[in-house]
Amino acid sequence: MSVLDAMFKGDLVSYAVSLVLLGMSVCSWVVILWKAWLLSRAHQDVVRSTAAFWQSASIEQALPRVRAFDREELVLPLLEATQLPSAGTLATAGDKSQQLTRVLRDALHSVLHKLQSGQVLLATVGSTSPFVGLLGTVWGIYHALVSMAGGGQVTIDKVAGPVGEALIMTAVGLAVAIPAVLGYNILGRGIGRIEADLEGFARDLRELLVTKP
C-alpha cells in the first residue's frame, strides 16, 4: 500500500489530520520561499539605500535617492520620521535628542514588524505539526486494533500492517515540521543581520541630526 493510501485510508479524523498537515506544509513553504526572496531584496536595499544617503549632500537630497533604492521601504521610514512635527504638541516636548530617539524608535519597530511577518507561522508549524501527526498515528492505531480485535484471532502479521500505516502520520508530521524549523532559524539569522544594519543606521542618523545646527 502506498503512502497516500495509508494517509487517506480512515475516518473523518484521519482525513482532517491529513488535510491539516497538508495545509501546514503548503503555508510554511509559501512563507519560506516568499521570505527568502523578500530578505534577499531587503538586504540589498538597505546596503544601497544607506550608501546613497551618506553620499548625499543633505537629507532633502537624500530622500529621493533613497526612495529609488529602497524597494521594501525599510530605510525611508526612518528618514521620514526625522521630519519632526511643528511645535505646540506633546510630540515636540523635550529636547531634539529625545524627540529623535522616540520617532526613530517607533519607525524602527514598524520596519522590524514588517521583517518579522511570517515567522510566527513557521514557529507554530514547526512546534505543532509533529503532535498533529502523532494524533493521526494514535487514532489510526486505535481503529486498527479495534477492527482486528473484532475479526477474531490477532497475529503479528495482522498487527504490523495497519500499525505501520498509522505510523506514517508521525513521519508526515516530522516532514512538515523539519523544513519549518530550518526555515525559521535560517530566515531569523537574515532578519537579525538586517535588523542590526537598520539599528546602526538609526543610531548614526540620530547622532548626525542631534549635532546638526
Residues 6 or more apart in contact with residue 24 via CB below 8 angstroms: 125, 128, 129, 132, 176, 180
- Tell me the C-alpha distance between 164 and 141, whole Å: 9
What per-residue confidence (pLDDT) applies to 9? 53
Domain count, the chain: 1
Q: How far apart are CA 193 and CA 35, in angstroms?
A: 14
pLDDT tens for 118-128 read 999 999 999 99
What is the reported pLDDT for 8? 47
Confidence at residue 167, expressed as pLDDT on a 0 to 100 scale: 81
> How far apart are the C-alpha atoms of 5 and 58, rounded to whole Å?
67
Closest C-alpha to 136, from 173, 177, 180 = 173
What pLDDT, in 10s, does the model give residues 7-33?
Answer: 445 567 778 888 999 999 999 999 999
In-domain check, residue 64:
yes
From residue 111, alpha-carbon distances to 33, 46, 168, 202 in Å are 20, 12, 42, 12
Do the domain assignments include residue 85? Answer: no
Q: Is residue 86 part of a domain?
A: no
**pLDDT score, position 18:** 86
Q: For the chain, list residues with pLDDT below 70.
A: 1-11, 84-94, 147-162, 165, 212-213
With 0-12 CB in 10 A as exposed, 13-18 as middle and 19+ as buried, what is 213? exposed
Residue 189's nearest CA partner among 83, 9, 39 is 39
Give me the pLDDT at residue 13, please.
Answer: 76
Considering the domain boundaries, does residue 125 fall inside one? yes
Q: Give residue 91's pLDDT.
A: 57
Range of the domain at 22: 3-80+95-211
Backbone angles phi, psi at 86, to 5 degrees: -70, 160
Residue at 16 is within a domain: yes
